[in-house]
Structure 1
Amino acid sequence: MFLGGRMSLAHACMPAILLALAISRATGKNECDLVGVKGSESTRELALLKRLEPLANESFTTTKDIGHEKYNYTFRVCREVDGGGTDAGLVQIDQAGKIIVVGRISETHIVNGTDWILLTYKGGEPYGSHCGTEKRKAMVMITCSRKALRGSFTILAEEREKDEECFYLFELESSVACLPVDSHLSVGSILLITFVSLVAVYIIGGFLYQRLVVGAKGMEQFPHFAFWQDMGNLVADGCDFVCRSKPRNVPNAYRGVGDDQLSEEPEERDDHLLPM
């Protein structure tokens, strides 16, 4: 009787257990594990993983033709690829449907620059006859693209002609690699914007007042038109006085004295001295 009760309880709890496992997988319990000792990860790398969280639920695919063969690649950011196996972050699928793990999220390394983030998955399946049979490694260069969260995903190269340190190189465009735009305005910009706004309010408001209230027409609709006209005349006069060159107080040149230059003396009239 007691055993039957336990079995009934187990069957009753099974859907809840399965749901919990599904939620745990969907919420990403299998996140990236940075290379190194657990608990002593670089704070820089942890901050970069935080920046990549918006891409965690996305899946990216691309295709590459090598000779007569065609390969599909599937990539996820700090999540397992569906059907790829344990910790598979990037897989290769050939035409026959064979899946090869190129990199695992359990061996993650991440660095960044001003407008890019390089995410590296190590610990992939070993090469068969290339690169000294070392394990495969996937390097995904996430470049800045402010247009969209998830952009194009392409494979750039597969380096396997060396004896070691071979890799698959991919590129993913995404806005998560972009630095935030500094939107702070300088004091000069604020003053300029304020001045332009006040001038616009003055002109538009004055124009409406002159037209609708005063009933002005033509140029008279401009606010304080007579004042600004006088101001323009004064500015023009000042510019003419300061900027234009013209002779001022030119001294008389020396000239010789000749008969033709002597002016006739005015006749002195002394009629008032004669006796009446």
Structure 2
Amino acid sequence: MAIQIKTRFAFETNQATDALLQFEAAALPEQHIRSADTRLGDAEHVARVAAMDDIGERIWIRTNGLFEVSYEAIVEPQRIAADLSSLSALGPHDLPGETVQYLLDSRYCHSDRFHNFVNAEFGNTSGGQRVAAISDWLTQHFTYAPGSSGPSTTAIDSMIARQGICRDYAHVLVTLARASTIPARYVACFAPGVTPQDFHAVAEVFLADPNVKDGGTWQIVDATGMADPQKTVKIGVGRDAADVSFLTTFGANRFLNCSVDVSECD
């Protein structure tokens, strides 16, 4: 089973402006890139740099005027998804150093504000059972509502509104997992079955690996229920959406259009 990806987007600047792009499927052991074609508009400067945790690449560009991006790829996910509820948590003292940042507050995920909530709501669970319970709680208490949130919406805002899009569901799940002392990160991805089709966002949690003594494993969780972890193609990861936006400009821009088409293929 392979996933076919087609995306295009365009934006415009009125003067020379730097922008950071991240929209390509990451080359990882858990997903094989069968083919890929990236086409970028005219730019004064283009440079590729490693993305967070060395998952995927970012592209620096410096452009003035109209800039268009086209990307097509066929990717074969080879991920083995574990039964989440069967995985135990690792004690904080047993966590590898690179996961510690995913226990801490970030721009959109203020986990310190939710310790009392997770203890009251999910206190009889731990590890993967806790994460599954959080995901189920989101499914039951949140409404998926396109247009209900914006670039500044935090997990706190979403908890108050009890609605949002994939970005907001991921932020809340990440926040509540961190409040439970479970490392959690935000994952930008492509996935078939997402409605409306767009760049998608899920969460990833770090739990004990039953196959490796004292080891851990990152497991994808999508509280919207739209993305199958075994059919999900990762673009990149971060503390929250700010770290892995497909477009970040360091100056004014006018976003013109975006289309994403993701489907299964042979």
TM-score range for the pair, normalised by the shorter chain length = under 0.3
Bigger share in strand: 2
Relative to the length of structure 1, the TM-score reads: 0.20
Structure (1 or 2) with the larger CA radius of gyration: 1
What TM-score, normalized to structure 2?
A: 0.21
Structure with the larger helix share: 1
